Structure 1
Amino acid sequence: YKVLFVKSILVIVAFWIIIPLFAFLFTFAVVKIIRMFPKRKLSKKGTAILSVVLILSGFLEAFSAGMNNVANAVGPLVASGVLSVGQGTLYGGIFVAAGALLLGRRVLETNGKKITRYQTGEGILLSSTGAGLVIVSSIFGLPVPLTQITSSSIIGLGMAKGGPNIFHKHVVKKMLKVWVVSPFLSLSLSYLLVSLFLKGDYYSIFIMMSVLLASLGALSLMKAVKNESSSIHEQGGGI
């Protein structure tokens, strides 16, 4: 109670919404403008140059991820005095790199193949947008979600090329749900663990379990009502 810097939290949360939305709108607008002009076939030299630029922009985006995501991961350890700033930067960077090498493949396939198709120039736009927004945010000390920024840019690209059908893709629906649920789940879990292990407040477990069961029950009821309505409609019932 009264221990959170509420104004700072509200600013950070606002940027969680504003920056991915800006990435979506910016990418959508740029692709729409580009598609207004006739396509020109590039020479082999031009294609090679674009490929090099794409590689550099991808590396720049990975660099921007290190500026922001390492701080997000080890910030609590530095704040609690477990690690110094230098140690947190070093160890956090090592583990971020290890996570990318060992378990980054599936997310890479989702962003690279399962949302929409894009060409070399469009890839440069996506990587440059994500890198630029995250670097500017990092300079101002704002923790921002690179994953959401990049994915929002990809969705904006897909919408510019194929219309709102991009939102009907199963993987896009799943991502949007995770974006909404994950911050609240993280908040709830951290509150529960602090209450349980640091304060010995076992009553919190009862409260959290009650909320969880109520949420699951409400979702189950909504699904049952939806299925019943669909069944009635298919059988020709109703008005």
Structure 2
Amino acid sequence: MLLEKMLQSQGFGSRKHCQQLIKNAAVTVDGQVCTDMKQSIQPYPEMPFTVYGETYHYREKVYIALNKPQGYECSHQPLHHHSVFDLFPEVLLNRGLQCVGRLDQDTTGLLLLTDDGAFLQALTHPRKHVAKVYHVTTVDRIGEVQIQQLQVGVELRNEKGLYAATDVIRLSDYQLSLTIHQGVYHQVKRMLAAVGNKVQALHRQQIGALSLNSLNEGQWIYLTEEQVNLAKTRASE
């Protein structure tokens, strides 16, 4: 692979811009300054390189976990709030970074992003039923009947069939944890409304077998191959 092509693939701009970086001796690979416009390299996973002294690592595709803060929209063109893409450097945005599903601006927690279309499809296709764990704070006290209704399933307006949650656990009088296996619009909020309650705060803790662990709000990390596979893990399997 030509060095300029590698730089393009990593989000450093147009071919012309990447050529200029090389001409300016701004690029090093494995510690060696690269100025040969025709230089060919064989990139390998996590291969270190620098651009103007800043270190990067080669990634054929990127898989990212973000602990999404409140007040951010999952859109490149937000209407009323900040965009989650404001939290990432330009080189990632140049790669075509996309959200794997969406969280409302007032919902916090685990959000995955990638430039891998196959990965995005694997986690968002309706037939995949990837489990998602939410922690919910409610306006009214949570009753045992409401928990039973959530487990049995409720009807949602303009949707077909019943929508049920699994592993519904009451954490306190006004907090519960639940797992859903679909991904319809505002599903958790609509399910709580269907049983006569209302969501005050919503936090996504887990997707598949991948959880936030100690990731602070607003922070993001690259996922390892093992973590990518955990995200694909389906509770129905």
Q: What TM-score do you get using the length of structure 2 for normalisation?
A: 0.20
Which structure has the highest helix share of the two? 1
Higher relative contact order (CA 8 A, sep 6+): 1
Q: What TM-score do you get using the length of structure 1 for normalisation?
A: 0.20
